[in-house]
Amino acid sequence: MTGAVGVIEGFFGRPWSWPDRAAYADFLAGLGFDFYIYAPKDDRHLRRRWREPWPDDTVARVAALSRGYRAKGLRFGLGFSPFELHLDDAHDPAALRARVRQLNAVEPDILCVLFDDMRGDTPALAARQAAIVDDIRAASTAGRIIVCPTYYSADPVLEKVFGPMPAGYLDDLGRLLAPGIDIFWTGPKVCSRRYPSAHLDDVAARLGREPFLWDNYPVNDGAAMAPFLHIGPFRDRPPALRERLAGHAVNPMNQAWLSRIPLRSLADSYRHGDAYDPDRSFADACRALCGAELGAAVAGDLPLFQETGLDRLSAAERRALEGRYGDFRGHPLADEVLGWLAGDYAFDPACLT
């Protein structure tokens, strides 16, 4: 997995549709990406209701996804979040292993154990989470395990929301997890724009391994980001970045088709290196994914989508966008713009519970 690049559907809010997920197999393979990880926060059977097995229809859908991605030469992964199990003084390892054996039925190549976005204010956090990972690892048939810590960034906002990080947490977690297990990291911020070499080297020293980058661009979940469409190109992800990473997982937007625009630019960035031109890549992506006329509209409206945002559009701007993209109704990217304008992707705090 060293240097592998792919997508983790790991956001809150409105998830992708099953057809949209399936269609990503061809798209990611065409970009030369390596994996897709199914981990929507909306799937409560992987998070708050993790003790309960999936309904039969979900098993069938996820198994079909797994087969589809593997048929295209990509690894298929799952994100499993035993929600706040590390706060339970008497958790049952047998029950945990039984649930993991149920997940084995869809034959994941990668199993992510995600402790993100939950309380972590307990002194024994690293030891408890490492023990949980050991139990999961013993039952899983996945060839690769990736762990997301509760404190997955140097951003102080995590301690404000989830409680103070226990002293030595990252060092202890890195020491207690087996060397072959990867660890997610989002960088200096939860949503980082850059990943300085010195920062990544320091994190690698603390974790005892190169971090596996969880890249929170172009994700747009949450109250602050949901009013925006992050379709602009990736910047500051040079090929040299991969030399300091175990892998690179991109967390996309709630809009699956519009997310393809920046994802295409990331492939260009890694492919072209110093010759990468983000603005040219963006224009090329809009044209290739939308066609000439719609692509020109999307490219021209980038400032409204990414900088102004839905809540600050004037009435005239909103009407103009509705008319412009209404002419392309039926095209999946135009339909996502129209849905965004209609409030279909508005943030609902209930998704956090």
3-state secondary structure of 144: strand
User: Residue 1 has what pLDDT?
Assistant: 56
Q: Please give the average pLDDT of every successive group of 10 residues along the chain, which has 353 residues.
A: 89 97 98 98 95 95 98 98 87 88 97 96 93 96 98 97 96 97 98 96 98 98 96 95 95 98 97 96 98 98 98 98 98 98 94 81
d(CA 26, CA 34): 12
Q: What is the pLDDT of residue 351?
A: 86
159-162 long-range contacts, Cβ below 8 Å, gap at least 24?
Answer: 162/117, 162/118, 162/119, 162/120, 162/121
Domains and CATH numbers, the chain: 4-276 (3.20.20.80), 281-352 (no CATH)
How many C-beta atoms lie closer than 10 Å to residue 112's C-beta? 28
206 Cβ contact list (under 8 Å, min separation 6): 170, 171, 174
Instruction: State whether the Cα torsion 233-257-302-350 is positive or negative.
Output: negative
Whole-number pLDDT of residue 330: 98
- Between CA 81 and CA 133 the distance in angstroms is 11
DSSP code, position 117: S
- Residue among 117, 215, 221, 301 flagged as catalytic: 117
pTM for this predicted structure: 0.97
Q: What is the pLDDT of residue 208?
A: 98
Whether 117 is catalytic: yes
Residue 63, classified by CB atoms within 10 Å of its CB into exposed (0-12), middle (13-18) or buried (19+), is middle
Structure tokens at 111: 């199993």
Residue 123: per-residue pLDDT? 86
